């Protein structure tokens, strides 16, 4: 539902905080369209959070969705409000990534994997599954144990491993005969050893080594107790949406003014909408949102001259029950921005990614969408909004290897990162005033000690760091300095 501003109401609310106007509009429309959020206004924080959790547990199965679900255009209404806000829909969960089950039931698809240096007749078969029951289990585990590093569940280049008991999962991809696990297993910490033992038996049958990328402080502590090698390469920046200087307009006056101008019917004419994946599918809107993301990604790849590390390619609706989408429309009704919020059960909060403007959109659309996401979470009393990975400019804490090897690791990392735009990412995050008390480390974990060339190359590929392009940039930099 698109919410339109009347001139009198716009005049009366100028003294109000912008975050309150946007947040109340979003929450009101959730209340109108989703019974589980009804009556959320004025209730205690615990009740609001329970409603938010219920949104992500209330997804209907594919078989429950009626065939003739209506599109967004058929369900929109015009409601007077201080700022245009919300179009709420409830899609079904339509997951199509691959999944490996440690019990090896009959696979739905097979991919052929040939270890490097072996003859074609030595091909090994990795079973890939997309049955709804298994994927629903992965979704349930992500709802309960998901972290920021599990953003890979929306990237179809990852495969899921599900343990025999079907009580734990992990996401990985294979690069250079190395299984790179995204973060840590989706399970409680007391199950780490059991699940990893199962996965180790599985991967060894293919001759793969293993590393973990983006593990959190808890898993890094687990790794240290097992005397594995850990390297802190980044931090997770987190906004406390319930106590934020930008939302309270104690800072960021320019950004606030820009947002007001974009939302003003007489100036920017931008309207905001919300799409809550839960019960009813809207294929038309989903296609438009995915097309917007794909167009943004294509333009970024064509125009960027620098390497962009830690880029994930999303299929936005693979685990739709985890997602909330906020989008923006131009005055003519066309989409021009998208913010995706993925529920993270481990933190009882959301990961904001992607948050993008369509090619040709007015300046400030992505900032407006991030601000709208913060405003909604403030209204719902959800305090945890992750901005995702922020790589360190120098390698952080290193454990589990001798000092000479640590020095080499630091030199390699620092030399590589100096040509990556990590400083720009930090500056962008800073404008939203993340809470330093919620910040946590991100680690590379190597169970077998010092990483070898295979592991280094695999991690570079996984982090979207193309070694040849990086070398060319470095050569060009050296030539220009002379």
In a domain, 52, yes or no: no
Residue 207: per-residue pLDDT: 92
Does one domain contain both 352 and 455? Answer: no
| pLDDT, position 192 | 97
Same domain membership, residue 291 and residue 226 = no
In a domain, 92, yes or no: no
pLDDT at 425: 85
Q: Which of 146, 140, 171 is nearest to 156 (CA)?
A: 171
Across residues 339-362, what is the average pLDDT? Answer: 95
What CATH number is attached to the domain comprising 397? Answer: 3.40.630
Task: Give me the pLDDT at residue 305, please.
Answer: 58
- Reply yes or no on whether the pLDDT at 334 is more than 70: yes
Residue 60 has pLDDT above 50, yes or no: no
- CA–CA distance, 59 with 49 (Å, rounded to integer): 17
Residues 6+ apart with CB under 8 A from 146: 153, 186, 322, 342, 343, 344, 345, 346
- Residue 356 pLDDT more than 50? yes
pLDDT at 303: 73
In this structure, the answer to whether residues 254 and 338 fall within a common structural domain is yes
Is the bond preceding 288 in cis, omega lying within 30 degrees of 0? no
Q: Does 35 fall in a domain?
A: no
Sign of CA dihedral 42, 376, 215, 318: positive
Asked if the model's pLDDT at residue 405 lies above 80, the reply is: yes
Residues 6+ apart with CB under 8 A from 144: 186, 345, 346
Between 7 and 336, name the one with better pLDDT. 336
- Contact status, residue 191 vs residue 158, Cβ threshold 8 Å: no
Residue 354, domain member (yes or no): yes
Same domain? For 170 and 195 the reply is yes
Q: H or E segment at 133?
A: helix 132-145
Within-domain flag for 168? yes
Q: Are residues 221 and 256 in the same domain?
A: no
Position 110 in a domain: no
Residue 469, CA distances (Å) to 84, 196, 305, 416, 456 in order: 45, 35, 10, 11, 16
The pLDDT assigned to 307 comes to 53
The pLDDT value given to residue 457: 76
Here the CATH number for the domain that contains residue 299 is 3.40.630.30
pLDDT band, very low/low/confident/very high, at 27 (cuts 50, 70, 90): confident
Q: pLDDT band at 107, cuts 50/70/90?
A: very low
Cα(131)–Cα(397) distance, rounded to whole angstroms? Answer: 41
**In this predicted structure, what is the pLDDT of residue 456?**
78
Q: Which of 108-117, 203-212, 269-278 has the lowest mean pLDDT?
A: 108-117
| 104 within a domain of the structure (yes/no) | no
**Pair 161, 221 in one domain:** yes
Alpha helices per DSSP H over 327-382: 365-379
Instruction: State the burial class of residue 195 (Cβ atoms within 10 Å of its Cβ: 0-12, 13-18, 19+).
Output: buried
Its domain, for residue 446, covers 128-235+390-422+438-480
**469 inside domain:** yes
Q: Where are the alpha helices (DSSP H) in 173-330?
A: 192-204, 217-225, 253-263, 283-303
Q: Per DSSP, what are the bridge partners of residue 229?
A: 446
What is the per-residue pLDDT for 156? 87
**Terminal-to-terminal C-alpha distance of the chain:** 59
Query: At residue 2, does pLDDT exceed 80?
Result: no
Question: CB neighbours of 404 closer than 8 A, spacing ≥ 6?
Answer: none
DSSP for residue 394: S
Same domain, 281 and 361: yes
Average pLDDT of the residues of the chain = 78
Query: Could you tell me the pTM of the whole model?
Result: 0.80
Answer whether residue 271 shows pLDDT above 80.
Answer: yes
Mean pLDDT of the region 403-425? 82
DSSP 71: P
Q: Could you tell me if 199 and 253 lie in one domain? A: no
Look at residue 143 in the predicted model and tell me its pLDDT: 94
Q: How far apart are CA 267 and CA 283, in angstroms?
A: 31
User: Percentage of the chain surpassing pLDDT 70?
Assistant: 69
The domain total for the chain is 2
96 pLDDT more than 60: no
- Tell me the pLDDT band of 462, cut-offs 50, 70 and 90: low
Q: Residue 156 and residue 235: Cα distance in Å, rounded? A: 25
What confidence tier does 451 reach under pLDDT thresholds 50, 70, 90? confident
Higher-confidence residue of 195 and 421: namely: 195
What does each C-alpha distance from 230 to 176, 219, 225, 305, 407 come to in angstroms? 20, 10, 11, 31, 14
* Residue 26 confidence (pLDDT): 84
Q: In the prediction, which pLDDT does 432 show?
A: 97
Output the pLDDT for position 241: 96
| Better pLDDT: 92 or 235 | 235
The tens digit of pLDDT for each residue in 192-246 reads: 999 999 999 999 999 999 999 999 999 999 999 999 999 999 999 999 999 999 9
């Amino acid at each position: 539902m698109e919410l339109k501003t009347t001139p009198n109401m716009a005049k009366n609310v100028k003294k109000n905080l912008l975050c309150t106007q946007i947040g109340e509009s979003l929450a009101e429309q959730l209340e109108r369209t989703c019974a589980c959020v009804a009556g959320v206004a004025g209730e205690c924080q615990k009740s609001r959070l329970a409603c938010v959790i219920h949104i992500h547990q209330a997804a209907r199965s594919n078989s429950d969705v009626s065939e003739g679900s209506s599109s967004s255009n058929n369900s929109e209404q015009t409601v007077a409000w201080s700022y245009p806000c919300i179009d709420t829909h409830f899609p079904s969960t339509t997951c199509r990534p691959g999944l490996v089950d440690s019990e090896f039931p009959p696979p739905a698809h097979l991919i052929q994997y040939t270890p490097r240096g072996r003859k074609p007749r030595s091909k090994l078969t990795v079973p890939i599954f997309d049955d709804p029951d298994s994927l629903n289990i992965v979704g349930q585990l992500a709802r309960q144990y998901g972290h920021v590093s599990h953003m890979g569940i929306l990237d179809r280049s990852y495969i899921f491993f599900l343990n025999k008991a079907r009580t734990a999962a992990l996401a990985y991809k294979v690069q250079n005969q190395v299984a790179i696990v995204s973060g840590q297993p989706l399970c409680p910490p007391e199950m780490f050893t059991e699940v990893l033992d199962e996965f180790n038996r599985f991967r060894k049958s293919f001759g793969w080594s293993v590393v973990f990328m983006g593990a959190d402080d808890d898993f890094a502590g687990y790794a240290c107790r097992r005397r594995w090698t850990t390297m802190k390469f980044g931090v997770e920046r987190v906004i406390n949406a319930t106590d934020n200087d930008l939302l309270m307009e104690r800072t960021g006056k320019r950004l606030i003014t820009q947002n007001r101008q974009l939302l003003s019917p007489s100036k920017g004419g931008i309207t905001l909408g919300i799409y809550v994946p839960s019960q009813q599918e809207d294929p038309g809107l989903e296609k438009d949102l995915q097309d917007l993301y794909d167009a943004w990604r294509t333009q970024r790849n064509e125009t960027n001259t620098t390497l962009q590390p830690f880029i994930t390619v999303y299929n936005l609706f693979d685990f739709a029950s985890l997602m909330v989408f906020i989008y923006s429309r131009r005055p003519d009704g066309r989409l021009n921005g998208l913010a995706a919020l993925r529920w993270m059960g481990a933190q009882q909060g959301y990961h904001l990614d992607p948050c993008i403007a369509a090619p040709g959109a007015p300046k400030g659309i992505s900032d407006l969408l991030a601000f709208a996401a913060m405003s909604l979470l403030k209204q719902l009393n959800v305090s945890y909004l992750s901005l995702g990975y922020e790589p360190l400019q120098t390698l952080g804490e290193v454990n589990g290897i001798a000092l000479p090897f640590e020095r080499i690791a630091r030199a390699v990392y620092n030399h590589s990162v100096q040509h990556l735009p990590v400083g720009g990412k930090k500056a962008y995050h800073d404008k939203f005033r993340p809470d330093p008390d919620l910040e946590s480390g991100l680690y590379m974990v190597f169970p077998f000690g010092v990483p070898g060339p295979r592991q280094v190359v695999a991690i570079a590929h996984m982090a979207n760091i193309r070694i040849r392009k990086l070398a060319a940039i470095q050569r060009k930099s050296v030539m220009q300095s002379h």
